[in-house]
Amino acid sequence: MKKRETDGSVLKEPNVKYQTSQTTLSEYLRKKRSFIYRTLGDRLFSYFIFALGFIVILTTIVMAIVLYKDGAEAIKRYGFFGFLFGRVWDPAMKIEFGAFPFIVGTLITSIGSLAISFVPALAVAIFTAEYSPRWLAHIIDNLTNLIAAIPSVIIGLWGIFVFAPWMRDTFYMNIYMWILDNNPSFAPIFGNPIGYGIATATIILAIMIVPYTTVLTVDAFKKVPKEQREAAYALGATKWEVVKMAVIPYARGGILAGVMLSFGRAIGETMAVAMLIGNKNNLPFSIIGPASTMPSVIVNEFREAVENIHLSSLIAVGFYLFIISLVVNLIAAYIQRKFSLTGARTV
Amino acid sequence: MKTLKRRYLHEKIMITFIAFNTVAVLTPLIIILVYVFVQGIGAINLDFFTQELGSPSRAMTGRPTGLVHTIIGTLVVDALAILIALPFGIGAGVMLSEYPDHKLNPVMRVMNDTLNGMPAVLKGLLAWALVVKPMGGFSGLSGGVALAVVMLPIIARSTESALMNIPWSIREAGLAIGLPRWRVIASVVIPASKAGLVTGVLIAFARAVGEAAPLLFTSFGNNYKSSYLLGWTFGPVDTLPQRLYSLAISPYPEWHQLGWAAGIVLLFFVIVSFAIARIVVREKY
């Protein structure tokens, strides 16, 4: 099969060109086949591939359109910024909707979890890339990837039955009692010690987003040239000083990209947060008390939404979520491009 | 100027700090895995793999309950998702890697990463609006579409990196013996990177199989096996992560136990497919 084709297209082709006066049927067909095979084939194949690939671009665009269209009822009714800053979410009595509590909840939990997870994530990256022997680095690398791979429902399950009760009994109760004894006016700010709330959800989120920072940071560390490190060693630096002076500054683009990626994950993380945050739909939130985030309210109420405006409001919340995570992802992509990091790792 | 002694001390402190943080990051992982295993292993028995869940009273009165419909449903929905996502994902990957000079290529790379970073709930809302609403009911197919959107960017990315691993000289060899570009891609590059493609699908499966959020309002869930064959695709279907969520927030202790067991099965799917993916990659490269 292959041999015939190469014979046909490569060896005989020049002959066909020179025989201009008399073309037999078989030569005509061969010429034509060659045209179909090469020019048209290439053209069609590339169109086919572009059509398939274009679906990726199309999906994102369609997502934006669909979310806007289905959320339009709520956005029209309350106005774009009116809905964004509306502080009341009441599907039962007043039938009034505003996304502000969820935006606040999302920002608090995701920024909080970033703040908690940043130093440990960086430490894991430094440990695997600089300090540990290769076999240990390999194991730790696999384990951190495993954290990213564990389905968030399973972490939520563990959170509901193990982590939240444990936090309540060991920390929240004691601190709450101490506050009541010493400074009762602070109690409402601290919140009720039921165990399910912002603090618990934030800590769980922090555990879940560590791998995203770590993986990109390790990649960036690996790209630091040897000379950079050796120069620092030659100046008499200790290992930590090498990391601090030569490695981290060089890899800051990768670290930043990892942080943005983690931030995007934290914003969109749904199940574990929905199971642990306690689902309180109205401001004000307290430190350990219940709250809600944008994904968690969608998951919790979408199945039970009866009124059209309720459904539409939930999708509008999804639209705002889309915009926020689009911006975060584009910033991350920009950083990665600027510091010429290829994010080809999929895990 | 710091003395050498102080610098060494600083070094020691930093090593301890870094090692401590590493342990702190990995401890929850171990605890979670052990907990799921210890809590769930008691409910893993023959009934678990052969019986349906049924109504809460079925578990309360001690009749055999299981999640056979959930496991089948998970496999059906994820198989649908792979079927839908595979051609588009591979197409996108081929475009990213084989036509780097195309105008749309950088846009596509950014869009692909953006789609990958989009919260899974939104992918569920998309599938709800595109499939559930027009079809007028929750269905396994819509769940498959939602998960396909989850898988699509992952498959595209890993296809790209698998094809990139094939050296350009091999493509040039193909072109030099007179093959057109499309034949080089179809019969040289793609067969050579088969292992990488399989890895991509496995990773995409591992990621998608644990997604509960998009399935809650697409495949919805079902306490029983589908009564007719097409019901697995056109009726509401149970899937592991979504069932796990329902079991966890239910008030019945028997169901909590089943939830932990479902966690074991889910983790088994995820870890096995990841492990196979890793092994395939290591053998190949």
**pLDDT at position A26 over 70:** no
Instruction: Quote the pLDDT of residue A207.
Output: 92
Rounded to the nearest angstrom, the minimum Cα separation between B81 and chain A is 15
% helix, strand, coil for chain B, step of 5: 80, 0, 20
Instruction: Please check whether residue A116 is in contact with residue A229, taking contact to mean a CB–CB distance below 8 angstroms.
Output: no
Banded pLDDT at A326 (limits 50, 70, 90): very high
Q: Which of residues 184-223 of A touch B (CB under 8 A)?
A: 207, 210, 214
Instruction: Quote the pLDDT of residue A193.
Output: 80
**pLDDT at position A131 over 50:** yes
| Three-class SS of B12-69 | HHHHHHHHHHHHHHHHHHHHHHHHHHHHHHHHCCHHHHHCCCCCHHHHHCCCCCCCHH
Strand partners, B237: B220
**pLDDT at position A226 over 90:** no
Banded pLDDT at A343 (limits 50, 70, 90): very low
**pLDDT at position A227 over 80:** yes
Mean pLDDT of chain A: 83
Say how far apart CA A309 and CA A74 lie, in whole Å.
6
Instruction: Quote the pLDDT of residue A6.
Output: 46
Banded pLDDT at A203 (limits 50, 70, 90): very high
**Tokens matching residue B64:** 């055999």
| Cβ density class B258-267: b for 16+ within 10 Å, e for less | bbbbbbbbbb
**Tokens matching residue B192:** 């050579």
**Tokens matching residue A42:** 């290439």
Mean pLDDT throughout B235-243? Answer: 89
Interchain contact, A158 vs B10, CB within 8 Å: no
Chain B residues in contact with A275 (beta carbon < 8 A) = 245, 248-249
Sign of the four-CA dihedral A221, A226, A232, A237: positive
Instruction: Please check whether residue B49 is in contact with residue B71, taking contact to mean a CB–CB distance below 8 angstroms.
Output: yes
**pLDDT at position B83 over 90:** yes
**pLDDT at position A9 over 80:** no
Q: Among candidates A214, A202, A215, A220, which has minimal Cα distance to A114?
A: A202
Report how far apart, in Å, the C-alpha atoms of B167 and of each of A320, B173, B193, B280 are: 43, 10, 11, 19
Instruction: Please check whether residue B126 is in contact with residue B219, taking contact to mean a CB–CB distance below 8 angstroms.
Output: no
Chain B residues in contact with A156 (beta carbon < 8 A) = 245, 248
Share of chain B above pLDDT 90, in %: 38
Q: Is A110 on the interface with B (CB under 8 A)?
A: no
Interchain contact, B125 vs A315, CB within 8 Å: yes
Largest CA distance in chain A: 108
Mean pLDDT throughout A32-40? Answer: 71
Say which residue, A216 or A16, is predicted with more confidence: A216
**Tokens matching residue A100:** 């502000």
Mutation choice for B interface testing from A65, A157, A241, A325 by most B CBs within 10 A: A157
Alpha-helix residue ranges (DSSP H) falling in B41-139: 46-50, 56-60, 68-98, 105-117, 120-127, 133-135
Say how far apart CA A24 and CA A7 lie, in whole Å.
18
Banded pLDDT at B55 (limits 50, 70, 90): confident
In one letter, which amino acid is A296? S
Question: What single-letter DSSP state applies at residue A159?
Answer: I
Instruction: Quote the pLDDT of residue B102.
Output: 82
**pLDDT at position A20 over 80:** no
Chain A residues in contact with B94 (beta carbon < 8 A) = 49, 52-53
Mean pLDDT throughout B19-40? Answer: 92
Interchain contact, B244 vs A295, CB within 8 Å: no
Chain B residues in contact with A63 (beta carbon < 8 A) = 118, 122-123, 126
| Secondary structure (3-state) at A32 | helix
Rounded to the nearest angstrom, the minimum Cα separation between A101 and chain B is 18
Instruction: Please check whether residue A281 is in contact with residue A293, taking contact to mean a CB–CB distance below 8 angstroms.
Output: no
In one letter, which amino acid is A159? G
Q: Among candidates A135, A158, A276, A266, which has minimal Cα distance to A210?
A: A266
Residue range B188-217, pLDDT digits in tens = 899 988 888 999 999 999 999 998 989 988
Q: Among candidates B41, B99, B49, B102, which has minimal Cα distance to B71?
A: B49
Interchain contact, B15 vs A240, CB within 8 Å: yes
Mean pLDDT throughout A199-222? Answer: 90
Share of chain A above pLDDT 70, in %: 87
Q: Kindly write down the DSSP assignment for every residue of A52-105, as one continuous string.
A: HHHHHHHHHHHHHHHHHHHHHHHHHHH-HHHHHH----BTTTT-B--SHHHHHH
Instruction: Quote the pLDDT of residue A258.
Output: 87
From-to residues of CATH 1.10.3720.10 in chain A: 81-338
Mean pLDDT throughout A57-83? Answer: 89
Interchain contact, A329 vs B117, CB within 8 Å: yes
Banded pLDDT at B269 (limits 50, 70, 90): very high
Q: Is A115 on the interface with B (CB under 8 A)?
A: no
Instruction: Please check whether residue B267 is in contact with residue A150, taking contact to mean a CB–CB distance below 8 angstroms.
Output: yes
Say how far apart CA A271 and CA A204 lie, in whole Å.
11
Instruction: Quote the pLDDT of residue A109.
Output: 92
Mean pLDDT throughout B145-172? Answer: 91
Mean pLDDT throughout B99-124? Answer: 88
Give the chain B residue nearest A57 (alpha carbons).
Answer: B111
Sign of the four-CA dihedral A212, B99, B167, B273: positive
Instruction: Quote the pLDDT of residue A222.
Output: 86
- At the fourth CATH level, the homologous superfamily of domain B69-284 is MetI-like (1.10.3720.10)
Chain A residues in contact with B270 (beta carbon < 8 A) = 149-151
| Cβ density class A113-140: b for 16+ within 10 Å, e for less | bbebbbebbbbbbbbbbbbbeeeebeeb
Q: Is A152 on the interface with B (CB under 8 A)?
A: yes
Domain parsing of chain B, residue ranges? 4-43, 69-284
Q: Kindly write down the DSSP assignment for every residue of A101-156, as one continuous string.
A: HHHHHHHHHHHHHHHHHHHHHHHHHHIIIIIS-HHHHHHHHHHHHHHHHS-HHHHH
Banded pLDDT at A98 (limits 50, 70, 90): confident
Interchain contact, A55 vs B152, CB within 8 Å: yes
Q: Among candidates A306, A294, A66, A278, which has minimal Cα distance to B213?
A: A294
Mean pLDDT throughout B122-147? Answer: 90
| Cβ density class A168-199: b for 16+ within 10 Å, e for less | beeebeeebeebeeeeeeeeeebbbbebbbbb
Say how far apart CA B133 and CA B141 lie, in whole Å.
12
Say which residue, A37 or B258, is predicted with more confidence: B258
Q: Is A30 on the interface with B (CB under 8 A)?
A: no
Question: Shortest CB distance from A333 goes to which of B10, B114, B271?
Answer: B114
Instruction: Quote the pLDDT of residue A40.
Output: 82
Instruction: Quote the pLDDT of residue A176.
Output: 86
Mean pLDDT throughout B140-146? Answer: 91
% helix, strand, coil for chain A, step of 5: 80, 0, 20
Instruction: Please check whether residue B234 is in contact with residue B140, taking contact to mean a CB–CB distance below 8 angstroms.
Output: yes
Say how far apart CA B39 and CA A14 lie, in whole Å.
75
**Please, what CATH class does the domain formed by A81-338 belong to?**
mainly alpha
Given the structure tokens 């890895």, which residue do they identify?
B199
